[in-house]
């Protein structure tokens, strides 16, 4: 087995990580004691299993849909119905079974380019939060879901790109992605991701062995810099953890 990040929970397979993540999300919702909660969704392919699970019998009746506000940690600057869009991925995964109030899904605007979209999403987040500065005592998100790219990126915070050093803005444009799909992106920045009660990385599959090992070897990869007001936890399946 490879070395794993701190706070890693090793799971049998992708289905087990999705179930554990669903229970973690429900626990976060429960701990909010009836208050509205904000969940920041990760994109890519890994989390689709989780989002489908939340909308499936056995979970769909347990999720407090009316209290949850769903945000996106990043997206590709493509039309929302494009196969590359994280909006499309989430819409397909939730399907018609998830009773998400339309006003509770905050998509990242993608029709006027990365710069304008980042500015618009920043305003959306600030309007929701109700203040211009993030207060450590009052995190923006209750839960941030993240994935790990094969190059060690997370959200659309790619190695060597300017967005890594953004410490004031909550949202940054990424004109050039560091990994396919090579389309412009819009991403939350480290300060925005850190304004969270909990961060949960979902990592499945053999293609993640290398970035996981590189993180464990101390390489300065973007995913290493994710912090939280609470705990950063990794749900890793055996395929990803195998040596």
Residue nearest to ligand 6PG (CB): 147
What's the min distance (Å) between Cβ of 225 and ligand 6PG? 14
Nearer to ligand 6PG, 127 or 180 (CB): 180
Long-range contacts from 218-224, C-beta under 8 angstroms, 24+ separation: 219/152, 221/151, 221/152, 221/153, 221/159, 222/152, 222/153, 222/154, 222/157, 222/158, 222/159, 222/164, 223/146, 223/148, 223/152, 223/153, 223/154, 224/152
- Of 44 and 159, which has the nearer Cβ to ligand 6PG? 44
For ligand 6PG, the closer CB: 130 or 179: 179
- Residues that bind ligand 6PG in the complex, under the rule CB under 6 A: 42-46, 73-74, 86, 147-149, 153-155
> Hey, how many other C-beta atoms are within 10 angstroms of the C-beta on 8?
18
Return the number of the residue (59 or 201) whose C-beta is nearest ligand 6PG: 201
Q: In the bound complex, what is the minimum distance in angstroms from residue 130's beta carbon to ligand 6PG?
A: 26
Q: Are 136 and 196 in contact (CB under 8 A)?
A: no
Give me the least distance between CB of 131 and ligand 6PG, in Å please: 26
């Amino acid at each position: 087995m490879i070395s794993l990040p701190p706070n890693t929970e090793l799971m049998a397979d992708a289905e087990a990580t999705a179930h554990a993540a669903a229970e973690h999300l429900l626990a976060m919702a429960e701990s909010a004691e009836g208050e509205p909660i904000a969940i920041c969704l990760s994109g890519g392919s890994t989390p689709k299993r989780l989002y489908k699970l939340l909308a499936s019998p056995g979970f769909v009746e347990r999720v407090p849909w009316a209290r949850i506000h769903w945000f996106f940690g990043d997206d590709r600057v493509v039309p929302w119905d494009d196969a590359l869009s994280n909006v499309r991925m989430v819409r397909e995964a939730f399907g018609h079974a998830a009773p998400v109030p339309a006003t509770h899904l905050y998509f990242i605007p993608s029709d006027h380019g990365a710069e304008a979209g980042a500015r618009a999403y920043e305003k959306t987040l600030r309007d929701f939060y109700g203040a211009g500065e993030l207060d450590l005592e009052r995190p923006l998100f209750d839960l941030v879901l993240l994935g790990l790219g094969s190059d060690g990126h997370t959200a659309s915070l790619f190695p060597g790109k300017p967005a890594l050093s953004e410490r004031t803005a909550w949202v940054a444009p990424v004109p050039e992605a560091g990994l396919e799909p090579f389309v412009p992106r819009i991403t939350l920045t480290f300060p925005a991701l850190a304004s969270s009660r909990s961060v949960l990385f979902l990592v499945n599959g053999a293609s993640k062995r290398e970035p996981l090992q590189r993180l464990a070897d101390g390489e300065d990869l973007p995913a290493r810099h994710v912090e939280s007001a609470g705990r950063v936890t990794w749900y890793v399946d055996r395929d990803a953890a195998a040596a």
